Amino acid sequence: MAIATVNPTTGLIEQSFEPHSGEDIERKLTQAAGAASAQRVSAFATRAAWMVRSAEILESEADAVAAILTTEMGKTLKSARAEVLKCAKNMRFYAEHAEAFLADEPLSDPSSVGASLAYARYEPLGIVLAVMPWNYPLWQVIRFAAPALMAGNVGLLKHASNVPQSALYLDTLFTRGGFPTGAFSTLLIESGAVAAVIQDSRVKAVTLTGSEPAGRSVAQTAGHSIKKAVLELGGSDPFIVMPSADIRAAAAMAATSRTGNSGQSCIAAKRFIVHTDVFDDFAGAFVEQMRALRVGDPLLDSTDVGPLATQAGRAELAELVDDALAHGATALIGGSTPDGPGWFYPPTVLTGITGSMRLHQEEAFGPVASLYRVASVDEAIEVANGTRFGLSSAVWSTNEAEQDAFSRQLDAGAVFINGMTVSYPELPFGGIKDSGYGRELAAAGIREFCNLKTIWKA
């Protein structure tokens, strides 16, 4: 894919960029290696001051950065601004907590292992390559970068080819905050150049957030090179509604979860699994909520849903919907691609989904909801677990026994009860099955790219 900003609202190319040359990449790697040595011996307090300064810079530039995000991938300006501020919050979170998360772990009874002293210590790995997607051009990167830099690591970013201006903003953010040159920088490269970077002996680990095929490719290279990898891949999260739920509240949140970021979120609820006793009520209220959403220019404050980020992404989504309709699904709302400029797609709700439809097994990366009718907790769990994904899940029920059953039996990295999945700096985030492995955020996230070194003293 060419590296360029193509405005999804107009379909026009705004700016193209030449990929970095081999020499550029070598220079960036050399700088990163130098920064890794400096980072390794720097104090937590020093890195925390740099991180807080970086967060302040980001906050002070929030409006300009938000405009870049909206221009490059079409999210509403208000949500872009919220994304920027969430990033700053995450940076402050790790500035404050990194040292405690990575504190030494002494063995309380070292004599049990024949030692006078025994403990485990978290040390940085060095350069970590981050291969990142366009859907949250800032947040996906910062949720890796803030803990990585606070742990004393170095980040090299290979961002999605359609968000180069976001990537270039991030290229300098952390050095402007005080981190050493090379501590975090951007490689403007296409996906074909990623394997060679992973294989470079100076690069110690890789994290990828993106699609399943990209994950498989990166994990294969990392595995071959015996390097640590974290994969945050796609999802087709269930949103289960049981009879005891507040149906109107569930329907409102269902619409928010399905259409936020124009439906292009890995943790968006995508499959709505509803008990038959409340199916009609829920479906009616959900469609009403979806109909009320204003689709249009993402720069306008009144807009709820902007265009999809890419022409190809819209075509793929439309294919999934067309396939479902051709195999007998019914659209309660939406379901067809509008004419006109920009890559818009309407909020869509489909019922009558069956196993023969691609939508049943694939991720719908846009504002398309699949409705399923079930008759029991067990059937809801069976449908929810019936995909190869396992990112997150949401359950609406006020019955504690049901809440317990779902929280234990859903095959997912998270279960949100009477709410929607959101990523918080304070909570671990990640999936199982084909949604990937490893965790980001919280203590688990910062420990992923550390060497947990055991120290034993006679």
The residues annotated as belonging to the active site are 232, 266
Q: For the chain, what is the radius of gyration of the CA atoms? A: 23
Based on the shown chain and the rule CB under 6 A, indicate whether residue 225 belongs to the binding site for ligand NAP: no
Task: Please identify, using beta-carbon distances, which residue of 242 and 391 lies nearer to ligand NAP.
Answer: 391
**For helices 62-73 and 164-176, angle between their N-to-C axes, nearest 10 degrees:** 160
Based on the shown chain and the rule CB under 6 A, indicate whether residue 234 belongs to the binding site for ligand NAP: yes
State the nearest-atom distance from the C-beta of 211 to ligand NAP, in Å: 3
Distance between CA atoms of residues 77 and 87, nearest Å:
15
Based on the shown chain and the rule CB under 6 A, indicate whether residue 266 belongs to the binding site for ligand NAP: yes
Based on the shown chain and the rule CB under 6 A, indicate whether residue 134 belongs to the binding site for ligand NAP: yes
- Please pick, from the candidates 71, 165, 217, 351, the single residue that binds ligand NAP as defined by CB under 6 A: 217
Based on the shown chain and the rule CB under 6 A, indicate whether residue 160 belongs to the binding site for ligand NAP: yes
Based on the shown chain and the rule CB under 6 A, indicate whether residue 391 belongs to the binding site for ligand NAP: yes
With H, G, I as helix, E, B as strand and everything else as coil, classify residue 189.
coil
DSSP string, 296-307: S-TTSTT-SB--
Residue holding tokens 């050493």? Answer: 180
Count the neighbouring beta carbons within 10 Å of the beta carbon of residue 326: 9
Based on the shown chain and the rule CB under 6 A, indicate whether residue 131 belongs to the binding site for ligand NAP: yes
Q: Which stretch binds ligand NAP (CB under 6 A): 53-61, 249-257, 335-343, 431-439?
A: 431-439
Based on the shown chain and the rule CB under 6 A, indicate whether residue 181 belongs to the binding site for ligand NAP: no
Based on the shown chain and the rule CB under 6 A, indicate whether residue 133 belongs to the binding site for ligand NAP: yes
DSSP string, 326-339: HTT-EEEE--SPPP
Distance between CA atoms of residues 242 and 228, nearest Å:
41
Distance between CA atoms of residues 458 and 456, nearest Å:
7
What does DSSP assign to residue 87?
A: H
Task: Please identify, using beta-carbon distances, which residue of 189 and 324 lies nearer to ligand NAP.
Answer: 189
- Please pick, from the candidates 161, 166, 186, 370, the single residue that binds ligand NAP as defined by CB under 6 A: 161
State the nearest-atom distance from the C-beta of 231 to ligand NAP, in Å: 8
State the nearest-atom distance from the C-beta of 116 to ligand NAP, in Å: 44
Burial 286-316 (b: 16+ CB within 10 A, else e): bbebbeebebbbbeeeebbbbbbbbeebbeb
Name the burial class of residue 425, with classes exposed (0-12), middle (13-18) and buried (19+) by CB atoms within 10 angstroms of its CB: buried
Task: Please identify, using beta-carbon distances, which residue of 1 and 13 lies nearer to ligand NAP.
Answer: 1
Task: Please identify, using beta-carbon distances, which residue of 12 and 196 lies nearer to ligand NAP.
Answer: 196
Count the neighbouring beta carbons within 10 Å of the beta carbon of residue 400: 10
- Please pick, from the candidates 81, 97, 158, 204, the single residue that binds ligand NAP as defined by CB under 6 A: 158
Distance between CA atoms of residues 416 and 227, nearest Å:
33
Task: Please identify, using beta-carbon distances, which residue of 95 and 364 lies nearer to ligand NAP.
Answer: 364
Q: Which stretch binds ligand NAP (CB under 6 A): 80-88, 117-125, 133-141, 342-350?
A: 133-141
Q: Give the residue among 281, 292, 276, 291 at the shortest CA–CA distance from 247.
A: 281
Residue whose C-beta lies closest to ligand NAP: 210
Based on the shown chain and the rule CB under 6 A, indicate whether residue 390 belongs to the binding site for ligand NAP: no
State the nearest-atom distance from the C-beta of 217 to ligand NAP, in Å: 4
Report the relative pairing of strands 394-396 and 237-241 from DSSP bridges: parallel
Q: Which stretch binds ligand NAP (CB under 6 A): 85-93, 134-142, 251-259, 400-408?
A: 134-142
Q: Which stretch binds ligand NAP (CB under 6 A): 80-88, 98-106, 211-219, 367-375?
A: 211-219
222: left (phi over 0), alpha (psi -120 to 50) or beta: alpha
- By CB under 6 A, name the binding residues for ligand NAP: 1, 131-135, 140, 158-161, 190-191, 194, 209-211, 214, 217-218, 232-235, 266, 363, 365, 391, 431, 435-436
